[in-house]
Homo-oligomer: A and B are copies of this chain.
Amino acid sequence: MSIEKVARLAGVSTATVSRVLNGYEGVRPATRDRVLAAIAAIQYQPNLLARQLRTSRSRMLLVLVSNIINPFCSRVVRGIEAEAEAHGYHILLCNSDSQTQRESAYLTLLSGKVVDGVITMDAVSNLPGLRQMIGDSPWVQCAEGNPESEGSSVTIDNQQAAREAIAHLTQRGRQRIAMINGDPRYLYAQQREKGYRAALAERNVKWAAVEYANEVECEAGYAAMERLLARGQRPDAVFAVSDVLAVGAIHCARQHQLRIPEDIAMLGFDGLPWSAMLSPPLSTLEQPMHQLGVRSVQLLLQRIKDPHAPHVHEQLNCKLVERASS
Given known A-B contacts A50-B53, A68-B68, A74-B68, A92 and B95 have beta carbons under 8 A apart: no
A221 to chain B, nearest CB (A): 8
Contact A78 B67 (CB under 8 A): yes
Assembled-state Cα–Cα distance A62/B165 (Å): 41
| Chain B residues closer than 8 Å to A309, beta-carbon distance | none
| Chain B residues closer than 8 Å to A94, beta-carbon distance | 81, 90
Pick from B47, B105, B114, B250: contact of A112, CB under 8 Å: B47
Assembled-state Cα–Cα distance A51/B50 (Å): 10
Q: Which of A9-63 contact B (CB under 8 A)?
A: 45-53, 56, 58, 60
Is A208 interfacial (CB 8 A cutoff)?
no
Q: Which of A45, A91, A222, A274 has the most CB of B within 10 A?
A: A274
Given known A-B contacts A48-B114, A112-B47, A93 and B92 have beta carbons under 8 A apart: yes
Contact A277 B218 (CB under 8 A): yes
A262 to chain B, nearest CB (A): 15
Q: What is the chain B residue whose CB lies nearest that of A273?
A: B218
Contact A48 B90 (CB under 8 A): no
Q: What is the chain B residue whose CB lies nearest that of A243?
A: B274
Is A279 interfacial (CB 8 A cutoff)?
yes
Is A69 interfacial (CB 8 A cutoff)?
yes
Pick from B47, B77, B93, B276: contact of A91, CB under 8 Å: B93
Q: What is the chain B residue whose CB lies nearest that of A73?
A: B74
Contact A112 B49 (CB under 8 A): yes
| Chain B residues closer than 8 Å to A85, beta-carbon distance | 102, 105
Contact with B along A110-153 (1 / 0, CB 8 A): 01111000000000000000000000000000000000000000
| Chain B residues closer than 8 Å to A53, beta-carbon distance | 47, 49-50, 53
Assembled-state Cα–Cα distance A82/B94 (Å): 10
A69 to chain B, nearest CB (A): 5
| Chain B residues closer than 8 Å to A277, beta-carbon distance | 218, 222, 247-248, 250-251
Task: Sort A-B residue pairs by CB-CB distance and give the 3 closest, nearest first.
Answer: A48-B112, A251-B277, A45-B111
Contacts from A to B (Cβ < 8 Å) = 45-53, 56, 58, 60, 67-69, 71, 74-75, 77-78, 81-82, 85, 90-95, 102, 105-106, 108-109, 111-114, 217-219, 222, 244, 247-248, 250-251, 254, 273-274, 276-279
